[in-house]
Amino acid sequence: LCQSEKCIVGTGLEGQTAVDSGFSVIAEYQGKVFYTDSHKISFSRNGNTESISLVKYQGSNKKTFLHQKSRVQGGQCVKKGQILADGAATVGGELALGKNLLVAYMPWEGYNSEDAVLISERLIYEDILTSFYIRKYEIKTYMTNQGAERITKGIPHLET
Protein backbone atom coordinates (compact mmCIF):
# COMPACT_ATOMS: atom_id res chain seq x y z
CA LEU A 1 0.00 0.00 0.00
CA CYS A 2 1.05 3.59 -0.53
CA GLN A 3 0.40 4.46 3.11
CA SER A 4 -0.18 1.62 5.53
CA GLU A 5 -1.30 2.03 9.15
CA LYS A 6 -0.51 0.35 12.44
CA CYS A 7 -3.18 -2.15 13.37
CA ILE A 8 -5.69 -1.17 16.04
CA VAL A 9 -5.82 -4.69 17.47
CA GLY A 10 -2.48 -6.47 17.50
CA THR A 11 -0.66 -9.44 18.94
CA GLY A 12 2.07 -7.48 20.71
CA LEU A 13 4.75 -8.85 18.40
CA GLU A 14 4.45 -6.19 15.68
CA GLY A 15 7.47 -4.22 16.96
CA GLN A 16 9.73 -7.26 17.21
CA THR A 17 8.60 -8.51 13.80
CA ALA A 18 9.52 -5.16 12.24
CA VAL A 19 13.01 -5.32 13.78
CA ASP A 20 13.48 -8.98 12.81
CA SER A 21 12.56 -8.24 9.19
CA GLY A 22 15.98 -6.63 8.79
CA PHE A 23 14.57 -3.80 6.72
CA SER A 24 14.29 -1.18 9.47
CA VAL A 25 17.44 0.88 10.08
CA ILE A 26 18.51 0.63 13.72
CA ALA A 27 21.13 2.78 15.47
CA GLU A 28 24.14 0.65 16.40
CA TYR A 29 25.30 3.17 18.99
CA GLN A 30 24.30 6.40 20.70
CA GLY A 31 24.90 9.62 18.78
CA LYS A 32 23.41 12.75 17.27
CA VAL A 33 21.82 13.07 13.84
CA PHE A 34 23.14 16.11 12.00
CA TYR A 35 21.68 15.54 8.53
CA THR A 36 18.83 13.55 7.07
CA ASP A 37 17.00 13.47 3.75
CA SER A 38 15.15 10.90 1.67
CA HIS A 39 18.39 9.19 0.59
CA LYS A 40 20.61 9.09 3.68
CA ILE A 41 20.93 9.66 7.40
CA SER A 42 24.19 11.11 8.76
CA PHE A 43 25.01 11.10 12.45
CA SER A 44 28.06 11.47 14.67
CA ARG A 45 29.38 9.69 17.71
CA ASN A 46 32.38 11.00 19.65
CA GLY A 47 33.48 13.03 16.62
CA ASN A 48 33.20 10.11 14.17
CA THR A 49 30.72 10.58 11.33
CA GLU A 50 28.67 7.81 9.77
CA SER A 51 26.25 7.94 6.83
CA ILE A 52 23.57 5.33 6.26
CA SER A 53 22.09 5.08 2.76
CA LEU A 54 18.37 4.45 2.58
CA VAL A 55 16.83 2.06 0.04
CA LYS A 56 14.65 3.90 -2.48
CA TYR A 57 12.24 2.21 -4.90
CA GLN A 58 14.01 -1.12 -5.12
CA GLY A 59 12.01 -3.98 -6.62
CA SER A 60 11.16 -7.05 -4.57
CA ASN A 61 10.61 -10.66 -5.63
CA LYS A 62 6.85 -10.12 -5.41
CA LYS A 63 6.99 -7.26 -7.98
CA THR A 64 6.27 -4.66 -5.31
CA PHE A 65 8.81 -2.04 -4.31
CA LEU A 66 10.85 -1.57 -1.18
CA HIS A 67 11.79 1.77 0.29
CA GLN A 68 12.85 3.21 3.62
CA LYS A 69 11.58 6.42 5.24
CA SER A 70 13.60 8.36 7.80
CA ARG A 71 12.05 8.66 11.28
CA VAL A 72 14.62 11.09 12.68
CA GLN A 73 15.38 14.77 12.06
CA GLY A 74 18.60 16.75 12.05
CA GLY A 75 19.75 17.71 15.57
CA GLN A 76 17.97 14.78 17.21
CA CYS A 77 19.87 12.61 19.70
CA VAL A 78 19.47 8.87 19.17
CA LYS A 79 20.02 5.97 21.54
CA LYS A 80 21.51 2.60 20.73
CA GLY A 81 18.79 0.31 19.34
CA GLN A 82 16.50 3.18 18.30
CA ILE A 83 14.86 2.84 14.88
CA LEU A 84 16.21 5.47 12.47
CA ALA A 85 14.16 4.56 9.38
CA ASP A 86 11.00 2.59 8.67
CA GLY A 87 10.76 -0.03 5.96
CA ALA A 88 8.03 -0.44 3.36
CA ALA A 89 5.76 -2.44 5.70
CA THR A 90 6.52 -0.68 9.00
CA VAL A 91 5.15 2.48 10.58
CA GLY A 92 6.64 3.87 13.77
CA GLY A 93 8.80 0.79 14.18
CA GLU A 94 5.84 -1.61 14.11
CA LEU A 95 4.61 -3.98 11.42
CA ALA A 96 1.90 -2.28 9.33
CA LEU A 97 0.56 -4.43 6.51
CA GLY A 98 -2.73 -2.72 5.69
CA LYS A 99 -5.37 -0.15 6.57
CA ASN A 100 -7.84 0.06 9.42
CA LEU A 101 -11.32 0.15 7.86
CA LEU A 102 -14.85 0.01 9.23
CA VAL A 103 -16.50 -3.00 7.60
CA ALA A 104 -20.11 -4.18 7.50
CA TYR A 105 -20.51 -7.82 6.48
CA MET A 106 -24.16 -8.43 5.75
CA PRO A 107 -26.56 -9.84 3.13
CA TRP A 108 -27.82 -7.55 0.39
CA GLU A 109 -31.53 -6.92 1.09
CA GLY A 110 -31.67 -10.20 3.02
CA TYR A 111 -31.82 -12.51 -0.01
CA ASN A 112 -28.19 -13.38 -0.68
CA SER A 113 -26.87 -16.87 -0.42
CA GLU A 114 -23.42 -15.84 -1.65
CA ASP A 115 -21.04 -13.54 0.19
CA ALA A 116 -19.69 -10.23 -1.06
CA VAL A 117 -17.78 -7.26 0.25
CA LEU A 118 -18.78 -3.75 -0.79
CA ILE A 119 -16.34 -0.88 -0.43
CA SER A 120 -16.85 2.86 -0.54
CA GLU A 121 -15.80 4.76 -3.66
CA ARG A 122 -13.87 7.07 -1.33
CA LEU A 123 -11.31 4.29 -0.82
CA ILE A 124 -10.58 4.44 -4.54
CA TYR A 125 -10.80 8.18 -5.20
CA GLU A 126 -8.64 9.12 -2.20
CA ASP A 127 -6.03 6.39 -2.94
CA ILE A 128 -6.58 4.76 0.45
CA LEU A 129 -6.12 1.21 -0.88
CA THR A 130 -3.72 2.05 -3.73
CA SER A 131 -0.60 -0.06 -4.10
CA PHE A 132 2.27 -0.13 -6.59
CA TYR A 133 3.72 -2.98 -8.59
CA ILE A 134 6.91 -2.92 -10.62
CA ARG A 135 7.26 -4.64 -13.96
CA LYS A 136 10.38 -4.66 -16.06
CA TYR A 137 10.09 -4.84 -19.82
CA GLU A 138 13.09 -5.45 -22.05
CA ILE A 139 13.05 -4.61 -25.73
CA LYS A 140 15.82 -5.56 -28.13
CA THR A 141 16.76 -3.31 -31.02
CA TYR A 142 18.52 -4.39 -34.16
CA MET A 143 20.62 -2.83 -36.88
CA THR A 144 18.69 -2.45 -40.14
CA ASN A 145 19.70 -1.37 -43.63
CA GLN A 146 18.65 2.17 -42.69
CA GLY A 147 20.64 2.23 -39.40
CA ALA A 148 19.80 1.36 -35.82
CA GLU A 149 16.17 0.83 -34.88
CA ARG A 150 14.56 3.64 -32.94
CA ILE A 151 12.03 3.09 -30.19
CA THR A 152 9.40 5.80 -30.08
CA LYS A 153 5.87 6.26 -28.85
CA GLY A 154 4.93 8.12 -32.06
CA ILE A 155 3.23 6.13 -34.82
CA PRO A 156 3.67 7.62 -38.32
CA HIS A 157 0.50 8.95 -40.00
CA LEU A 158 -1.51 8.66 -36.79
CA GLU A 159 -2.77 11.78 -35.05
CA THR A 160 -3.36 11.68 -31.31
Read off the pLDDT of each residue in 19-43 and give the average, rounded to a whole number: 88
Domain of residue 84, residue span: 14-95
Domain count, the chain: 1
- Distance, CA of 1 to CA of 117 (rounded, Å): 19
pLDDT digits 0-9 by tens, 41-62:
998 888 888 888 998 878 777 7
Share of the chain above pLDDT 70, in %: 94
Model pLDDT, residue 160: 57
Q: CATH number of the domain that 63 lies in?
A: 2.40.50.100
24, part of any domain: yes
pLDDT score recorded for residue 21: 84
Where residue 159 falls among pLDDT bands split at 50, 70, 90? low
18 within some domain? yes
pTM: 0.66
**String of DSSP letters for the chain:** --S-B--SS--S-HHHHHHHTS-SEE-SS-EEEEEE-SSEEEEEETTEEEEEEPP-SEE-TTS-EE--EE---TT-EE-TT-EEEE-TTEETTEE--B---------STT--SS------THHHHTTTT-------------EETTEE----S--TT---
Asked, for residue 46, whether it belongs to a domain, the answer is yes
Q: Residue 112 has what pLDDT?
A: 67
70-115 pLDDT, tens digit each: 999 988 999 998 889 988 888 888 888 888 888 777 776 767 666 6
> What's the pLDDT at 79?
92
Over range 111-125, report the average pLDDT: 77
Higher pLDDT, 159 or 87: 87
Q: What is the pLDDT of residue 38?
A: 87
Give domain status of residue 80, yes or no: yes
The answer to whether residue 142 sits within a structural domain is no
Mean pLDDT confidence for 129-152: 84
